[in-house]
Chain A
């Protein structure tokens, strides 16, 4: 560990805090339909679109209509992406002449991108034509992120409104978030990435003769535009197989710093949007603080763990000073790799700039735990906020039980229906993560995909299903997904997305209809340190109780065997 490494982490955190309010304010203008610069330019286009689509844009929707819209839009997305991948061989912009994507892989990839997971069972440069990258995958990078933010906005409206029957209009939310938030920021970020060295070209590849006279084929493509939205929309699906470790995706320490900032930018802004819309920004900062606490612990542990050399390698007489460099890039070193790994799994991004599979057991434990906790530490765009609100409901419910009062959040009574919906959402994730892992490690097709044996192999399976259900998309990359895995991971991703979105919208609908009870001396305040501690405590305790046995079989036992010098 070095001073410059800690400065990098501190500077990152300060930048995140500094961006939260301005971005939150802008999100509010866009989502509440207030006038803003881009709206004045593109407003006529937007309203023209609504007329063609038959959308009554001034009308709002009930939670059922809103949820129906989300599901329909995702279904259309799935069908189109699947078709594009299957037929890419007949379509233009395929300079490498790549064949159709296999059915199970196309199914897995479509679900993966539609659910904002971006799990990649394929190597980008060897599987996807440029048209598939742009029209199938990059589009989903935008719209699946927009769906997340839209749902979060609807949920926030549910908490903010009193005696209301509607929670917004799904179509205007989707269009505005894409046109006025995701796209303009992506344009700026993409240009920045090009300046740093990320290619943006329609050429497929270039042939060079190296200094020693060998031929080298260098894959190129429209990388920068995909890179920008990949981070900003917490998607994580790389243009190239090795994602943000590839020098063309992430060429410098500065591009890396901006990438991690982009991952957190909108997630933190949504906490501020929450505070603004419920009328007290402090409520947003309380949620942010609970998240920030868990983030800082996670990044500290990962950095500490990875700064150690693998003892088996140090024993060969290798200088341990650089830390665990297997699977890491020289330009990033340990600090920037540990920061990236923590951020990408706190949020549901899943991009990687170093190979998590090659992390030391405790270094790899943190990303795994981040995903198991449901990615509520900042979290995916939208998904993080509506995820953490579920834990906030559990927190006030528990606080209510302890003092014997009806639990309230923001002046609204939390009743049986809300708690049931919350538990449905909170229980779905571990069911998928642990259930599928259990099946995978006792069946032939499940085991045949694993690259490692011993506890590391178990962790590989556990990591994959955690990543899928949490809609993260990062992997212990040694795993080679076969049809069984593609199918099971696809189910995991759908459950992880829609079994959260639908209950959470139901909660929003119920909350919107409630009246607000005036605060009394007996009201449990939800903007102070006690609440922050309670929320982060609930997140850790629920996660810990659920996952500790599985973690003990994986990374923890691997750490102990590593210290004993056992190899597999």
Chain B
């Protein structure tokens, strides 16, 4: 009976703490959070008209020249032809992923080189104006879902977006300036632009 006497406290304490921390805590908090902060608790989703277009916190794969583009994403998804394999599927928000490429990886440098050429080809005006290639637009993020780009990254694309949309460059640049989120209290965080919010605002410009 010594065994039972020794193990009983372990079992009962474990069971009790499991119920409190594993069931009551998350469920109660889901209830409270859903009531007090329903938008955030539900994933910060945004509507455009009556259509759910995404989450402000999750980046999207913008490829159309009419829109500002986010950072390269290396997430993958199941291959439609063969679900046992995976294929590139940028901004797959069901399976976040980073490149995990080391600094001396040849694959990394080749990937970045390709991204630089593509970025330059997409934005001839910026190249002509002598703007430097922003680091964030050619490197992949930690989550593969980065919703933001740097202000430099947005400004690099202003002329292209203005051209495709037949808007004045100043109009688009003013919009980017307005959409830049500055560091809290002037020091906490990096200046950044939320790409989805910027593009939503862009669609309302005429």
Binding site for B on A (CB under 8 A): 3-4, 7-8, 11, 49, 52-55, 68-69, 72-73, 75-77, 80, 123, 125-126, 134-136, 138-139, 141-143, 146, 171, 174-175, 178-179, 182-183, 186-187, 190-191, 194-203, 205-212, 214, 216-220, 222, 224-226, 229, 240-242, 245-248, 251-254, 256-257, 309-310, 312-313, 316-333, 336, 352-355, 357-361, 451-452, 454-456, 459-460, 476-478, 558, 561-562, 566-568
Chain B nearest Cβ from A330, distance in angstroms:
4
In the complex, are the beta carbons of B105 and A452 less than 8 A apart? yes
Given contacts A251-B44, A568-B106, 18 further A-B contacts (CB under 8 A): A76-B11, A138-B21, A139-B17, A183-B25, A195-B37, A210-B54, A211-B67, A212-B64, A225-B25, A242-B96, A246-B143, A312-B104, A316-B138, A317-B133, A327-B98, A330-B141, A452-B102, A459-B102
In the complex, are the beta carbons of B52 and A327 less than 8 A apart? no
In the complex, are the beta carbons of A197 and B40 less than 8 A apart? yes
In the complex, are the beta carbons of B26 and A219 less than 8 A apart? no
Given A316-B113, A316-B116, A327-B142: A210 in contact with B17 (beta carbons within 8 A): no
8 A-B pairs whose Cβ atoms sit less than 8 Å apart in the complex: A3-B187, A199-B41, A206-B43, A242-B98, A248-B58, A318-B134, A327-B99, A330-B149
In the complex, are the beta carbons of B139 and A208 less than 8 A apart? no
Q: In the complex, A67 Cα to B54 Cα: how many Å?
A: 51
In the complex, are the beta carbons of B104 and A7 less than 8 A apart? no
In the complex, are the beta carbons of B135 and A139 less than 8 A apart? no
In the complex, are the beta carbons of B67 and A139 less than 8 A apart? no
Q: In the complex, A312 Cα to B30 Cα: how many Å?
A: 47
Closest 6 CB pairs of A and B: A253-B189, A245-B142, A53-B12, A319-B132, A333-B190, A478-B100
Q: Report B50-83 CB contacts with A as 1/0, cut-off 8 Å.
A: 0111110111111110010001000000000000
In the complex, are the beta carbons of A183 and B192 less than 8 A apart? no
Q: Does B152 contact A (CB under 8 A)?
A: yes
Q: Does B164 contact A (CB under 8 A)?
A: no
Among B58, B101, B133, point to the contact of A358 (Cβ < 8 A): B101
Q: Does B20 contact A (CB under 8 A)?
A: yes
In the complex, are the beta carbons of B41 and A478 less than 8 A apart? no
In the complex, are the beta carbons of A211 and B62 less than 8 A apart? yes
Q: Does B205 contact A (CB under 8 A)?
A: no
In the complex, are the beta carbons of B30 and A313 less than 8 A apart? no
Of residues 86 through 102 on chain B, the ones whose CB sits less than 8 Å from some CB of chain A are 91-102
Given A54-B8, A201-B43, A317-B116: A309 in contact with B135 (beta carbons within 8 A): yes
Q: In the complex, A361 Cα to B104 Cα: how many Å?
A: 9
Among B29, B43, B99, B138, point to the contact of A248 (Cβ < 8 A): B43
Chain B nearest Cβ from A504, distance in angstroms:
20
B97: chain A residues within 8 A (beta carbon): 123, 241-242
In the complex, are the beta carbons of B142 and A209 less than 8 A apart? no
In the complex, are the beta carbons of A322 and B52 less than 8 A apart? no
CB closest residue in chain A, given B34? A201
Q: In the complex, A53 Cα to B14 Cα: how many Å?
A: 10
Q: In the complex, A248 Cα to B53 Cα: how many Å?
A: 17
Q: In the complex, A146 Cα to B133 Cα: how many Å?
A: 49
Binding site for A on B (CB under 8 A): 5-14, 16-18, 20-23, 25-27, 29-30, 32-34, 36-37, 40-45, 48, 51-55, 57-64, 67, 71, 91-106, 108-109, 112-113, 116, 132-136, 138-150, 152, 183-184, 186-190, 192, 196, 199-200, 203
B10: chain A residues within 8 A (beta carbon): 69, 72-73, 75-76
In the complex, are the beta carbons of B192 and A206 less than 8 A apart? no
In the complex, are the beta carbons of B41 and A201 less than 8 A apart? yes
Among B16, B104, B142, point to the contact of A353 (Cβ < 8 A): B142
Chain B nearest Cβ from A175, distance in angstroms:
6
In the complex, are the beta carbons of A183 and B105 less than 8 A apart? no
In the complex, are the beta carbons of B196 and A73 less than 8 A apart? no
Q: In the complex, A405 Cα to B87 Cα: how many Å?
A: 68
Q: In the complex, A187 Cα to B27 Cα: how many Å?
A: 12
Among A68, A309, A455, point to the contact of B6 (Cβ < 8 A): A68
In the complex, are the beta carbons of B109 and A567 less than 8 A apart? yes
B200: chain A residues within 8 A (beta carbon): 211
In the complex, are the beta carbons of B190 and A332 less than 8 A apart? yes
CB closest residue in chain B, given A362? B103
CB closest residue in chain A, given B56? A197
Given A171-B9, A171-B13: A208 in contact with B26 (beta carbons within 8 A): no
CB closest residue in chain B, given A479? B100
CB closest residue in chain A, given B51? A209
A190: chain B residues within 8 A (beta carbon): 29, 33
Q: In the complex, A564 Cα to B202 Cα: how many Å?
A: 45
In the complex, are the beta carbons of B33 and A254 less than 8 A apart? no
Q: In the complex, A331 Cα to B105 Cα: how many Å?
A: 25
Q: In the complex, A186 Cα to B59 Cα: how many Å?
A: 28
In the complex, are the beta carbons of A330 and B136 less than 8 A apart? yes
